[in-house]
Amino acid sequence: MSDDTAAPGVTLAELRLQVGTATHTGLRRRANEDAFLAAEPLFLVADGMGGHEAGEVASALAVDAFATLTGTASVAAADLRDAFGRAHESIAAIVSTGLRRAGTTVSGVAIAESDGRAHWLVFNLGDSRTYRLADGELEQISVDHSVVQEMLDGGTLSRAAAATHPERNVITRALGAGGPYQADYWLVPVESGDRILICSDGVSGELDDELIERILLEEHESQEAASRLVHEGLLHGGRDNLTAVVVDAYDRAGAEAHAAGSAEGPGGRRRDPHGEDTIPRPPVDVGGRN
């Protein structure tokens, strides 16, 4: 007997994306060292470091390296590793010319195909973040490469104390800056109604996850969600550059329902606030090193 039940998820042919972006220098910085890329099938945020000129150049070089992957239906993990390698070489070249502290984080998602279905191929290096809102629940998919995260993982620091720890901005991996640049990867099936948020720590450092979740649930349009996240970050201090990229995914029917205003909104229903905390998922092995 044949099984007529459709496989879960969304095919590449059915996938429809809606994207919103926002960035701001913040209230204390003289220049915006953040950069972002939002062009199918790749979406990322790069948070430059090393001072005004160095940080701006490093994040821009990272975006340039990944921009060569846009304009296709999907991206493979090997393509991302190659892009990280190109970005590393470009930043190393400017470090040798005198911008010795130049470096950048990179976090984001690419659309990948696996088993005939679209997947979020999440990648991360540093402490910019990639979140997924699904079924009313916000999950931080990426794991920060930071001193504070290592202390959290080791059980020597509470989450409450992490928010004010003096080393909360010290990262352990980045492109450039003389450190290792091995990225982590996660492969997550795309479901219609998914909402992805990629942001620099200027957003996640000002807004806790509960507020981020509430904003993503309340704003039905991706552009409005991205703009509000940056605006709220400014209201909460704006101590760093702030960048948010919001990506909504639908199948064909979901996109039509959203356009008609009959859908409940990206991310689905709000979760039970008394439910269990989400356990971070481990990275997947996609082969290779970077």
Q: How confident is the model over 218-252, as pLDDT tens digits?
A: 999 999 999 999 999 999 999 999 999 999 999 99
pLDDT in tens, 193-210: 999 999 999 999 999 999
What is the extent of the structural domain holding 178? 16-260
Amino acid 273: pLDDT: 42
Q: Is residue 147 part of a domain?
A: yes
For residue 126, the one-letter residue type is: G
Q: Is residue 9 part of a domain?
A: no
Query: How sure is the predictor about 151, in pLDDT bands with cuts at 50, 70 and 90?
Result: confident
Sign of CA dihedral 87, 92, 97, 101: positive
Share above pLDDT 70 across residues of the chain, in percent, rounded to a whole number: 85
C-alpha to C-alpha distances, 155 to 159, 160, 166, nearest whole angstrom:
10, 13, 17
Indicate yes or no: pTM above 0.95: no
Question: What is the spatial distance between Cα 238 and Cα 122, in angstroms, rounded to a whole number?
Answer: 27
Highest average pLDDT, of 1-10, 168-177, 217-226, 272-281, comes from 217-226
Amino acid 117: pLDDT: 97
What is the token pair recorded at 127? Answer: 């402490």
- Which phi-psi region, left, alpha or beta, contains residue 228 (left: φ > 0; alpha: ψ -120 to 50)? alpha
Whether 164 has a pLDDT exceeding 80, the answer reads no
Question: What is the spatial distance between Cα 75 and Cα 84, in angstroms, rounded to a whole number?
Answer: 14
Higher pLDDT, 167 or 249: 249
Q: Is residue 271 part of a domain?
A: no
Q: Is residue 268 part of a domain?
A: no
- Asked if 231 contacts 175 with a C-beta cutoff of 8 angstroms, the reply is no
Whether 15 has a pLDDT exceeding 60, the answer reads yes
For residue 256, the one-letter residue type is: E
Q: Is residue 277 part of a domain?
A: no
Amino acid 2: pLDDT: 39
Amino acid 165: pLDDT: 74
Q: Is residue 286 part of a domain?
A: no
**Number of domains the chain contains:** 1
Torsion of CA 214, 110, 142, 212, to 10 degrees: -10
- Beta bridge partners of residue 236, listed in sequence order: none
CATH number at residue 224: 3.60.40.10
What is the token pair recorded at 20? Answer: 């919103």
- Asked if 242 contacts 24 with a C-beta cutoff of 8 angstroms, the reply is yes
- Asked if 140 contacts 146 with a C-beta cutoff of 8 angstroms, the reply is no
Whether 264 has a pLDDT exceeding 50, the answer reads yes
- Asked if 119 contacts 113 with a C-beta cutoff of 8 angstroms, the reply is yes
Q: Is residue 120 part of a domain?
A: yes
- Asked if 25 contacts 34 with a C-beta cutoff of 8 angstroms, the reply is no
For residue 232, the one-letter residue type is: E
Question: What is the spatial distance between Cα 116 and Cα 46, in angstroms, rounded to a whole number?
Answer: 30
Q: Is residue 275 part of a domain?
A: no
For residue 234, the one-letter residue type is: L
